[in-house]
């Protein structure tokens, strides 16, 4: 594996780190936000979901800009958005200004969830693509873990009402580093060829490697996959021949969030408090959740290209069902006002198994899969579609989670469990394997005819 390929993938994956950090950092501020801005449970849910509304728009609209201006250029823009959001959220002067700056951060998260894995997929030979795109997911989880850790450290400083502000402002540091490191990365060779900048693409392929070991053959293969776009006007995504990848993208994206993963990550300290943990223990337990997810994401990265996407999804789905079922049963059989010690431990273990299942399964596979199943000429828009569905469902679950746990308690986790049973059936019956297949040959496997 070539040095430029490794370093460029790591830098691009910093977009994933900021994605994860931004996702989890809000979890340590929810009690303060509810107190400072005097929010109801639904208003708190909307405050948390404000960033997710931004992710929907960011993921939905970044595709065309990515195809027009390039993957690396858009990563620069997203780094600026992350920086502005971090400072603005921490310095917010009222609820409305806070919502606006969190929304800007959401735009960056939604955009990064499309562009980072897309960029890595397009610079990577097929034999390394799975594990390198999974680096983006690994960095998402690493960002989550670091956010939980910094929340725990800052909470221990007893800063009072400014505590939540420092939790948010600290994100500006990695955002600035991301912007600087992007200057060391090349542009995507597939985007360069699409723009007829072949000489630069040849240099990038030489530095990053090819599927066949033959640079000229690689260029011809990419040109052939793009040739029909040169002969006609821009082809729409929603046409019959793209039906299969579209349905696959929608399904994997929706199931990812119907597990409840983002809602649980956002409200992890709240869930631990429900299960009888104190504030300090809740924040520390949340850090443990991030650590477990990080370790199991590494495990998935190591076997992604040998075991394949489908087997990993099967294992993860079973883990979801067992852990969510145990959590649901525990909440339903315990008194909310007098949670048993055994029940608290069961919830802790259940959440650790849940995030392990996510880190090893869906969490590692989704971004790889979305970057693989669409043809070159609609990849930006196709991946944007799948990512938009992901964030729409994430916003819905995160917005309503405080309300449903207040009204339904443990039955909220029963609903998540049932959705994961459906996911397992989908993986077994519908999901095709994609490991080791070049991005150009993927079109043939999915039956996309021209």
Q: What integer pLDDT is reported at residue 232 of this predicted model?
A: 45
Count CB atoms within 10 A of the CB of residue 165.
Answer: 18
- Residues of the chain falling short of pLDDT 70: 1, 228-234, 278-282, 439-440, 449-450
Pull the structure tokens for residue 129: 């693509």
Q: What integer pLDDT is reported at residue 28 of this predicted model?
A: 84
Asked if 353 contacts 322 with a C-beta cutoff of 8 angstroms, the reply is: yes
- Which residue do the tokens 């992710």 mark? 55
308/303 Cα distance (integer angstroms):
7
**For the chain, how are helix, strand and coil distributed in percent, rounded to 5?**
80, 0, 15
Q: What integer pLDDT is reported at residue 427 of this predicted model?
A: 96
Contacts of 352 (CB under 8 A, 6+ apart): 288, 289, 292
Pull the structure tokens for residue 183: 């200057």
221/216 Cα distance (integer angstroms):
9
- Kindly provide the b/e burial profile for residues 254-284, where b requires at least 16 CB atoms within 10 angstroms of the residue's own CB: bbbbbbbbbbbbbbbbbbbbbbbbeeeebbb
Instruction: For 231-276, write each residue's pLDDT tens digit.
Output: 544 678 888 888 899 999 999 999 999 999 988 887 877 788 777 7
Asked if 266 contacts 398 with a C-beta cutoff of 8 angstroms, the reply is: yes
Asked if 163 contacts 32 with a C-beta cutoff of 8 angstroms, the reply is: yes
| Residue 103, Ramachandran bin (φ over 0: left; ψ between -120 and 50: alpha; else beta) | alpha
DSSP classification of residue 435: T
Asked if 65 contacts 74 with a C-beta cutoff of 8 angstroms, the reply is: yes
Contacts of 142 (CB under 8 A, 6+ apart): 17, 20, 294
Question: What are the start-end ranges of the E strands in 193-247?
Answer: none
The sign of the torsion formed by the CA atoms of 139, 145, 149, 155 equals: positive
Asked if 367 contacts 114 with a C-beta cutoff of 8 angstroms, the reply is: no
Q: What integer pLDDT is reported at residue 450 of this predicted model?
A: 52
Could you tell me which CATH number the domain at 3-445 has? 1.20.1250.20
């Amino acid at each position: 594996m070539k040095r430029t390929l490794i370093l460029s993938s790591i830098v691009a994956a910093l977009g994933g780190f900021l994605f994860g950090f931004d996702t989890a950092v809000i979890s340590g501020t929810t009690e303060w936000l509810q107190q400072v801005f005097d929010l109801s449970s639904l208003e708190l849910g909307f405050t948390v979901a404000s960033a997710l509304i931004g992710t929907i728009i960011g993921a939905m609209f970044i595709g065309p800009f990515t195809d027009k201006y390039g993957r690396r250029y858009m990563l620069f823009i997203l780094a600026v958005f992350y920086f502005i959001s971090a400072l603005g959220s921490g310095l917010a002067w009222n609820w409305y200004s806070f919502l606006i700056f969190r929304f800007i951060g959401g735009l960056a998260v939604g955009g990064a969830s499309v562009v980072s894995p897309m960029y890595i997929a397009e610079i990577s030979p097929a034999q390394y693509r799975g594990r390198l795109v999974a680096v983006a997911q690994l960095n998402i989880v690493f960002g989550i873990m670091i956010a939980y850790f910094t929340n725990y450290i800052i909470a221990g400083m007893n800063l009072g009402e400014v505590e939540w502000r420092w939790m948010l402002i600290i994100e500006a540091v990695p955002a600035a580093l991301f912007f600087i490191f992007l200057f060391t990365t090349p542009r995507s060779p597939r985007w360069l060829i699409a723009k007829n900048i072949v000489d630069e693409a040849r240099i990038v392929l030489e530095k990053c490697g090819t599927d066949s070991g033959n640079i000229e053959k690689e260029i011809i293969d990419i040109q052939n996959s793009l040739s029909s776009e040169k002969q006609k006007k821009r082809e729409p995504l929603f046409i019959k021949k793209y039906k299969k990848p579209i349905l696959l993208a929608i399904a994997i994206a929706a199931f990812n969030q119907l597990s409840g993963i983002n809602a649980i990550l956002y409200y992890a300290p709240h869930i631990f408090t429900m299960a009888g943990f104190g504030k300090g223990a809740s924040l520390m337990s949340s850090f443990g959740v991030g650590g477990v997810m990080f370790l199991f994401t590494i495990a998935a990265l190591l076997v992604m290209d040998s075991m394949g996407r489908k087997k990993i999804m099967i294992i993860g789905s079973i883990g979801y069902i067992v852990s969510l079922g145990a959590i649901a049963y525990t909440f339903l059989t315990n008194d909310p006002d007098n949670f048993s010690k055994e029940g608290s431990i069961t919830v802790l273990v259940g959440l650790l198994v849940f995030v392990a299942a996510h880190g090893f399964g869906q969490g590692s596979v989704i971004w790889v899969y979305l970057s693989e199943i669409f043809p070159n000429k609609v990849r930006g828009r196709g991946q944007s579609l799948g990512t938009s569905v992901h964030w729409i469902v994430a916003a819905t679950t995160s917005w309503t989670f405080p309300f449903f746990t207040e009204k339904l308690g443990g039955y909220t986790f029963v609903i998540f469990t049932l959705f994961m049973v459906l996911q397992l059936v989908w993986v077994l019956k519908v999901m095709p394997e994609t490991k080791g297949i070049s991005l150009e040959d993927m079109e043939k496997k999915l039956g996309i005819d021209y």
